[in-house]
Every structure is written in structure tokens, then in C-alpha cells.
Structure 1
Amino acid sequence: MAGQAGRATQAVRIRASQQQRAAGALSSPLCCLPPSRSGYVNTTRRTIAAASLVQTQPSQSTRWRPISVLDDWVAKEARPISLRQLMVFGRSLTEARLISSANYVRTELPTRLAHRIRDIQQLPYAVVSNPHISAVYELYYNAFDMFRKVKEIKTLDDNDVLCDVIGQTLQAHLPVIPKLAMGILECSDLMPAKDLDKFMNTILRARISRRVIAEQHLALTETFNASWYSPGAPLPEGHEFIGEVFLKCQARDVIDRCAKAVCELARSAYGPEVQLPDIQLTGHLDTTFPYILSHLEYIVGELLRNAVQATVERHQRMYESHGSNYVGIPPPPPPIEITLCEAAQHVIIRVSDQGGGVPHDMMPYLWSFSKGKHSQRLLENLKKVPRMSATLQELRVDEAQNPPSRNSSTHPLDKPPNVTGDPDHPHGNSLASLSQRPPNLRLGMGLPLSRVYAEYWAGSLELHSLEGYGVDAFLQISKLGNKNEQLTMRASMDAV
């Protein structure tokens, strides 16, 4: 009898231990804020100030966390914004407006994080316990727990400390995108692909949204503290940015810069003598619109990179198979045609190539983060990318690990920004690292992530492939900047 009681007691302890481990695993998967120019250097004074601004956290290091703490935050609605609101708010920046922006960020970040954490908690246990998903969840919960404890911002010193906290969080979350991608690929047989894609689209769009509001506030703070800026005064003549918003984004200039970077990439990958397709730009070339430059650079960069790579490789295959028929220098590859079209509400960018189109076996996975039989190859490539910012810098690991400091020459805060193509301009330096990304390092995320970026500001990205001939890609952008960011407003489990 005593032996039976002992065994029963031991069974109860085992079950309790299993439940505790399960609870710990459930509280370890989701969300991230992308990297930004987090040039805020911590000093002893700011470290002390941060300790007073953020309430004391428990010293226990257990992985288990009660999910009830999320309930109040999940019950709150995110407050979406538009590009126009960002522009109007930052046009005449004062101390009161900067502090108002700080408090918006202070409350909005934990709200948006809470919704996505709750979504992760609703994933099947086998998915949640994946080490990559679990690591992301841990990063998300730590960020949520930190931001929810930040006290109201009342002074500029408080705001400086908040900016340090934001910058540290953005840097800490650099591993999130590759970890999410690896987790989804490893779990592709545990959930339907459409559910995994819905989860990834929701998570990545939320990540973009947090990056936008966090980096916008950091940029406004930099502007306010710059020696050339007079609080409350109109923007200096020639100033083309309000925070991160480029007031007159000219698609032609973005395409020219991306084309140059992509061609340099191709030469470094295929050799300096490689024949590259001519990139021809036609249409409404003087079109301008407000936009976040890094978003447009990422989308256009991916479309051009795919087009140039497909065209070059197809041309090389054709030359190798018919090389004996050529006399002298073989003909150049067919051009890539880019057309800009301006309408009353939208700008449309069409990228047309003759690179042979999308292979038939890849079509089902074109917009999916799950890649079926191609998953293992992509997993090996993703392991080479420990950090990713989802700008054109995504593979510049050395720059991600050692970002330029706030006082470095790449952040000229003592003069108003002017030319967007200036390589020393903080809004334009993401192009500098595109050449670091080798063409054979395919990640399977370029098109799906580009579509997430396009749809974030109520735009769209479509692709039409003619196998054996080429691809037409259509990027539609809202021209007026009056569309709110497209968010999943609540945790999907609460939206039903």
C-alpha cells in the first residue's frame, strides 16, 4: 500500500513537472522589431536613468510566465497610422510633440507585441516548441515585458532613455526573421501551408509596423537634437525627410540606384566580363510620392535582383549550348524593361524580363514561406544568415553586428539631409551592402516579404510568369500617403 502511494506521489510530481515544462515552452515563441539606426550609446548616466524609467523586474530567471499578464494588453486595439499623419505630426516638431510621440510608441509597442505573442501561444505545441520559434517568442516576450513597464515620458531626458531602450531592442531582434523562416520551414509538415503563411504574414506585417513607429520616433529625436534644427520652425529648404518618411520619393532615382547595386552584385558573382542586360526605364519618370524609402528599396531591389539573375543565367545557358554558332562576341542578353505609370490614386511599377519565367515546380510556392521539397536547401542557406534587417542590408552581417554609432560620419546630424543618393546619407546607406549577397544564397523569402511590404501601405504586388519566356511583376503603390498601415488589429484568436 505504501509502495502504491509512493508511486502515485511520484506520478503526480512527474505530471506537475511536465506541465511546468509545457508552460515554459508555451511561453517561448514570437515577434521582433527590425533593426534601425540605433546609434544611441549607453552611458553610466543613462543606464541609471533606464533603471528608474523601467520598473524593477523580478530576479527569477524561470522560462515559465503567466499568460494572464497579456490579457489587458491584448484587449487594447492597435492605433494604425498613415504616412500623411507621420508627415503632418513631424512637420513642425516641438518638445511637446516629441514627448507625445514617445508616449505613443511607449504604449503602442507593447500592445502590438501582445497581440502577436497571443497568436504564437495558440500555435500547436509541436510548432511552439520548435527551438527557432521558441527563441523568437522569448525575444518578443522580453521586449513586451520591458516596454509595458516603461513609465510615462515627461521630459527630454526620459525620451533619451526610451530611445536607448528602443535601439537596444531593435538590435537584439536582428535574428528574428531568419529564425522565423527556419522555424516555419522545419514545421512545414506540422501545420497546413496556408495557416503557416497566414501566421508569417501577420507576424512580419506586425514587425514592419513596430519598426516604422520605433524608427520614426528615433529619427524625430535625432532631428530635434540636431544643431541645425529650430524647434517649431518650418523644415529647412531642401529637407526631404520627416523622420523616416521621404516626402518626394522619386521611383526613377530608387530604380537607378537599385539597378546599379544589382549590376555590381552580378559582376562580383559572375565575373567582371559578364554580359548584363540593359535596364530600360520608360513612362512617367517625374512621378513623386511620399513613402518610406527603405520599403521601396527592398521591393524594387528584390524584383530587379530576380530579373537580372534569371536573365543572366538563362543567357549563359543558351550561350553554352549554342556557343559554337556565334561568330565573335555573342549578342547581349535581352533587356529588362521597367515602366512607371502614374494614376490619380496610385503609382504602378512594372518590371518585365525575359529570364525564362518561374520554373513550374516553384509556382505553388511563389508567395509561400513554406517551400515543400525545396525546404532543406533553403534551411541550409538561412543558417548562413544569423541576422536579417529586411532592408537591402539583410546579409551584411558584419554591419548588423557593428552598426554605425550615432556620432559616426554616416549619421550627419549637424546638417540637414539633402540628396537621397548620397552614400553617406543615413536613409540611403542600405544599398551599400547589397553586393554582399551572393546569388546562390537563395532564401525563399524575397517575393513573399516584398508583398508584405507592398501591402503594408495598402499597395499590392503581383507577378505573371510565362514559363520559357519571362516574368512581368506589377508593384502598385498608394500615391497620396493617406492609407493607414494594414494591420491585423487584434490577436487572430480574439478576432473570431
Structure 2
Amino acid sequence: MLPPVARRIQTTIRLKDCYLCRQEIRWASGGAPPWRPAAILDEWVQREARPISLRQLTFFGRTLTEYRLLSSANYVRTELPTRLAHRLRDMQTLPYVVVTNPHMSHVYELYYKAFETLRRVREIKTVDDNDRYCNIITETLQEHLTVIPKLTMGIIECQSLMKPEETNRFMNTLLRSRISRRVIAEQHLALTETFHSPWHFPDAKQPQDPSSDFVGDVFLKCNAKEVVEECSQRARTLAREAFGSACRMPEVNLQGHLNATFPYILSHLQYIVGELLRNSIEAVVERWRHLPGHPAPVDVLICEAPQHVIIRISDQGGGIPKDILPSLWSFGKGPRSHIHLENLVRVPKMAATMQELRAFPTSAGGIAADANDWRRPVDGSLSSLTYRPPDLRLGMGLPMSRVYAEYWAGSLELHSLEGYGVDAFLTISKLGNKNEQLSTRASMDAV
């Protein structure tokens, strides 16, 4: 007869063996493998990621030559697997029960597949090599459109297994790294598209690029006023789709330094400003449903300083409820997380762009006929491959907006006065000389 302690150990081993048997059956039937050799990943984790600024991104494309195009390709070729390796190592440091969550496991498998594919690409020496590499990048970007919804669902389901600050730090690190990889990948795709364009060569019939204010995906003369006007129009349209055409819509008043321009990636700014305006407009519409008179306007103030441009968006939509305020910037926690989880199930893919907010998919975005064709839609993103209804709340608009804002060394702050309204302050680095803000080393390196 075994003593009680030994019986408990024996029972634990049996339970563990049963679990491992179930895992082996799952892996044998085509699931994720139980382990992979760590030496290759260790080698890539030892490499430092090399952050880049908007100014450096434009350097390759200002006077685009074959040498600069191939230099850009080889920078991307080494950076993508390096940054993926660090994030894979970060995921390996999570509690085991979190990593085995089906959604988290899906993201891990996507990352590892991309890492294995991209690390094997040899040095790019010719334009043909580059075109083949662009096909690989495009396919990878399309596959990774499932990352944001899957990652968020996994975090919500595992919120009781990690501390809130650890969860948010992990999500911010992964999403910021995701943005960084898409930025350098899509920038290179855009430069390659420019290289093959009819206006690129000296003897071209078309003497000047009609999009000369763009260098790849970087918009050199991004005008805050124009972005606010475009996003406010779109936000009003989305509000009508959500609340009905009969709803009373607030005006958007714009004032301040209306000629302020700066280099930026347009889709990033559109997402942030679009989310802020959409929140403000919809809050005002909801509040004035039961109040007489015309809805109070949403005021937008643009301030230009020597180093920054600040956009303040103010509304009188009643402010943010106290129960939501503590989890405002959280991807997982919050009183409505179960609703967000149900809604995320209906969003299989997400590019995190303003353009994907529409009721039904359309061909207007210009989806490539061939999945291996690197020539992308004109909006410079993969938003044409995704769509979601405008009234489907996911609880990640503000946290994602802050990730976008902080990526280029900016900031996003909200001040709420319950019963009155909200002031949002978006600060943007004006000179384009700030490096992308990302975690350059995996967290395990510090252990």
C-alpha cells in the first residue's frame, strides 16, 4: 500500500499521461507539433532588430534605383524573421495553459510558419529575385489578417490566467511589432510597385509620378485638416448605417492651424482619427436621442508646434461610464468583454484600417485577382481583403489607436467628464525623424 503522498504523485502522473496521450492524438491528426528545435530560434533571437524612422523609409524611394530597391529588399529580408523570432520567444514565456488556448496557438503557428519561410530566403541580388520575394511577403501578409481577432479572443479567454498589466504589455508588444513588420513589408511592396511604374524610367512617356507626395506608403505632406474632414465624413456615414438615416447628426467644427502638414503613414492616421471621431459622433447621437434641439457639435482643434502637431477632439456625448473607464486601454478586461468575444467570432480577418468598416465586401478596394501578385490596392493596405459591420463593437478601437499613435513616438490621451463629454488629445511627431517604438529584444533575454 502506497503512502498518501505517493498515491497523489501516481495519480498526477496518470492524469498527465492521459493529457499527453490526447495531445499526441491531436498532433498525429494534423494539429500543432509538440516541439521544434530551439537552436535556430535562439540564433535569431540573439540578433537586434533595427528600428527605422519615417525619414529613413523615404530615403530608399526618393531617387529609386535598382541598388536602393535591392538594399531595401535585403533589409526587409533580415528584419522580418528577426522581429518574428523575438515575438515567438515572448509567446514561449507565457504560461503553458495560455499558449495552448486554440486562438493563441493559431497565432503562434502562423508566426512560426512565417519565421521558417522568411528566414530561408537567400540574399536578393536581382530584380527578379525581389519580385519573387514580394510574392512571399504578400502571401504572408494575407495569411496574417487573422492575427488581430484571434489574438484578442485568446487574451479575453485567458484574462483570468494572467495579471492585467502583463496581458496589456504582451498585447501592446505583439501588436506594435505586427505594425512594424507590416510597415516595412508594405513600404517595400510600394517601392517595388514604383520601380515597375511607367513614370520611373528617364525615357518614360509620363514624366512625373501622379502620386509624387508619396514615397512608398509614406505620405510626405499629410494634412491634418484634410484627414479630419475625410474621417468625419466617413464617421457620419457609418453612424447613419448604425443608427438609421433619420438620426440627428452633429456637426464637426474644425479650427486651428489648418495648413499643418507632416510626413506620416496615411492609413495609421486615418485609423486613429476615424476611431476618435466615430466614438464622439456616436456618443452625441445616442445622447441626443432623448434631448430636444440640434445635437451639440464635435469640435476639432489642430495645433502646430515646432516638433509636434496636436489634434484635440472634443464632444458633449456624456463622457465615459465609470465602469468602463478603468479598462479603457485594455484589450482583455472590462465589463463588456463577453460581448466583445461574441462579436470577434464574427470577424475572421482584420487589417485594422478605417477602410474595412463597411457593411458588405465590395470590389471597390481592388482585390488582386492573383494571391501571388504583389501589386496591391491603391490604399496601401490589405483592407480590401477584410470588412466588418460598423455597428459591431469589438472593444479594441481605442487600445489599437494608442498602439498606432505611440508607434511613431506620438501619444494618445483621453480626459472624460462624466455627464458632459470627452476630450481626446492626439500628439504626432512632425519631423518624421523619430524611430519606430518597438520592443527590440525578447523578454526572455532579460531572464
* TM-score (structure 1 length as normaliser): 0.80
**Matched residue, 1:76:** 47
Matching residue of 1:294: 267
What is the Cα deviation at residue 160 of structure 1? 0.6
> How far, CA to CA, are the matches of 1:61 and 1:429 in structure 2?
27
Q: Deviations over 1:80-108 (max 9, x none)?
A: 00000111221000111111111111110
Q: State the match for 1:391 in structure 2.
A: 353
1:250 aligned residue (220, 223, 240) = 223
Number of corresponding residues: 427
For 1:302 and 1:485, the matched residues in 2 are separated by 22
- SS in structure 1 opposite 2:416? strand
Alpha-carbon deviation of 1:68? 2.4
Unaligned 5+ segments in structure 2 are 1-9
3-state SS of 2:160 partner: coil
Matches within 5 A, 1:61-460: 62=33, 64-230=35-201, 236=209, 239-316=212-289, 318-319=290-291, 330-395=292-357, 398=361, 404-405=367-368, 425-427=378-380, 437-439=389-391, 441-460=392-411
Aligned partner of residue 472 in structure 1, secondary structure = strand
Deviation string, structure 1 residues 409-457 (Cα, Å, up to 9, x no partner): xx999xxxxxxxxxx94349969998x6333x21110100100000000
CA distance in 1, matches of 2:418, 2:37: 52
Letter in 2 for 1:203: L
Q: How many angstroms apart in 2 are the aligned matches of 1:305 and 1:81?
A: 31
Partner of 1:3: none
Deviation at 1:63, TM superposition (A): 5.2
- Matches of 2:362 and 2:175, distance apart in 1: 22
CA contact 1:250–1:286 (8 Å) conserved in 2: yes
Task: State the distance in 1 between where 2:128 and 2:182 align.
Answer: 22
1:406 CA displacement = 7.2
- Summarize deviations over 1:154-211 as a string: whole Å, max 9, x none: 1111111100000000001111000000000000100001000000000000000000
When structure 1 is superposed on structure 2, of 154-163 and 424-433 the one drifting more is 424-433
User: Does the C-alpha gap of structure 1 residues 399 and 173 become closer, same or farther in structure 2, counting only changes over 3 Å?
Assistant: farther
Letter in 1 for 2:367: P
User: Measured at CA, do residues 172 and 229 of structure 1 come closer, stay the same or move farther in structure 2, by a change above 3 Å?
Assistant: same
Residues 182, 237 of structure 1: CA spacing in aligned structure 2 closer, same or farther, 3 A cutoff?
closer
* Partners of 1:82 and 1:485 within 8 A in 2: yes
Aligned to 1:478: 429
* TM-score scaled by length of structure 2: 0.88
Shift of 1:21: 4.5
Query: Structure 1 residue 273: deviation in Å?
Result: 2.0
1:241 Cα deviation after fit: 0.3
The residue number in structure 2 matching 1:492 is: 443
What's 1:43 paired with?
Answer: none
After superposition, the C-alpha distances for 1:316-350 in whole angstroms (9 at most, x for unaligned) are 1x33xxxxxxxxxx411000000000000000000
The alignment's C-alpha RMSD in Å is 3.1
Deviation at 1:64, TM superposition (A): 3.0
State the alpha-carbon separation in 2 of the partners of residues 238 and 222 from structure 1: 12
Judged with a 3 Å threshold, the aligned counterparts in structure 2 of structure 1 residues 493 and 399 are, in CA distance, closer, same or farther, namely farther
Partners of 1:478 and 1:338 in 2: CA distance: 18
* Structure 1 residues without counterparts, runs of 5 or longer: 1-7, 26-58, 320-329, 414-423
Whole-Å Cα distance in 1 between the matches of residues 181 and 165 of structure 2?
A: 24
1:81/1:384 CA distance change after superposition, 3 Å: same
Equivalent position SS for 1:189: helix
Q: CA deviation at 1:373?
A: 3.3
Q: Percent identity?
A: 60
Q: Is the 8 A contact 1:393 1:430 kept in 2?
A: yes
Give secondary structure in 2 for the equivalent of 1:246: strand
Equivalent pair of 2:84/2:115 in contact (CA under 8 Å): yes
Other-structure match for 1:462? 413
Q: State the AA in 2 paired with 1:249.
A: C
Letter in 1 for 2:389: R
1:79 alignment partner, SS class: coil
What residue identity is the alignment partner of 1:83?
L
Distance 1:111 1:273, change over 3 A: same
Asked if structure 2 preserves the Cα contact closer than 8 Å seen for 1:297 and 1:391, the reply is yes
373 and 17 in structure 1: CA distance in 2 versus 1, 3 angstrom threshold: closer
Instruction: Please list every run of at least 4 consecutive aligned residues from structure 1 whose deviation after the TM superposition is greater than 6 angstroms.
Output: 231-235, 431-434
Which range moves more in the overlay, 471-480 or 270-279?
A: 270-279
Q: 3-state DSSP class of the match of 2:78?
A: helix
Say if 1:385 and 1:395, in contact at 8 Å, map to a contact too. no
Q: Given residue 449 of structure 1, which amino acid in structure 2 is its aligned partner?
A: M
Q: Distance in 1 between matches of 2:378 and 2:143?
A: 24
Q: Shift in Å at residue 399 of structure 1?
A: 5.8
Alpha-carbon distance in structure 1 between the residues aligned to 2:116 and 2:381: 33
Task: Please give the alpha-carbon distance, in whole angstroms, between the structure 2 residues aligned to 1:106 and 1:223.
Answer: 19
Task: Tell me the secondary structure at the aligned position of residue 344 of structure 1.
Answer: coil
Letter in 1 for 2:368: S
